[in-house]
Homo-oligomer: A and B are copies of this chain.
Amino acid sequence: MLNLCNNIVMGKRITIYDLAKTLGVSAGTVSRSLNDHPSISPKTKERVITVANELGYKTNKFAVNLSKQKSNTIGVIVPKLNSIFMSTLLAGIEKIANEAGYNLIISQSLESMEKEKINAKTLYHSGVDALLVSLAYDTSNFDHFAHYIRNKIPLIFIDRVHNLPNCSTIIINNRLAGFEATEHLLAQGCKNLLYIGGNIKRNVYCDRLQGFKDALENRQLKFDKTNFLETDLAPNNVDTVIRYMGNSKNPIDGLFVASDNFAVHMIKALKKENYKIPQDIKIVGFNNDPISDLITPTLTTINYPGYEMGILAGQSIISHLNGGINLQPTNAITLRHKLIIRESTHK
Q: Taking beta carbons and an 8 Å cutoff, which residues of A are in contact with B?
A: 11, 58-63, 65-66, 69, 71, 73, 80-84, 86-88, 90-91, 94-95, 98, 101, 103-108, 110, 119, 122-127, 150-151, 261, 264-265, 268, 290-291, 294-296, 307
Do A91 and B98 touch (CB < 8 A)?
no
Q: Please give me the residue from chain B that is nearest to A103 by CB atom.
A: B105
Whose C-beta in chain B lies nearest to the C-beta of A291? B291
B61 close to A151 (CB less than 8 A): no
Cβ–Cβ contact B81 & A87, under 8 A: yes
Whether B94 pairs with A88 at a CB distance below 8 angstroms is no
How far, in whole Å, are A65 and B217 apart by their CA atoms in the complex? 59
Q: A90: which B residues are within 8 A, CB to CB?
A: 81-82, 87, 106
Known contacts A58-B125, A61-B126, A291-B294; 15 additional CB pairs below 8 A are A59-B125, A60-B127, A62-B66, A62-B69, A65-B65, A65-B66, A81-B87, A81-B88, A82-B90, A90-B106, A98-B119, A264-B294, A268-B294, A290-B291, A295-B296
Q: Which residue of B lies closest to A124 (CB)?
A: B58
Chain B min CB distance to A257 (Å): 14
Identical chains bound together, number: 2
Are B91 and A108 in contact, CB atoms less than 8 angstroms apart? yes
**Closest B residue, CB atoms, query A13:** B69
Partner of A107, one of B69, B104, B151, B268: B104
Query: Known contacts A86-B87, A87-B86: does B125 contact A61 (CB below 8 Å)?
Result: yes
* 5 residue pairs bridging A and B, Cβ less than 8 Å apart: A60-B66, A62-B69, A83-B87, A90-B106, A91-B108
Query: Which residues of B are found within 8 Å of A108, using beta-carbon distances?
Result: 91, 94-95, 98
With A62-B69, A82-B90 known as contacts, the answer to whether A98 contacts B103 (CB < 8 A) is: no
Q: Which residues of B contact A61 (CB under 8 A)?
A: 125-127
Interchain CB contact under 8 A, A11 and B150? yes
A87 touches B82 (CB 8 A): yes
A187 to chain B, nearest CB (A): 27
Cβ of A58: which chain B residues have Cβ within 8 Å of it? 124-125
Contact A82 B91 (CB under 8 A): yes
| A3 to B261 CA separation, bound complex (whole angstroms) | 54
Q: How far is the CA of A61 from the CA of B150 in the complex (A)?
A: 19
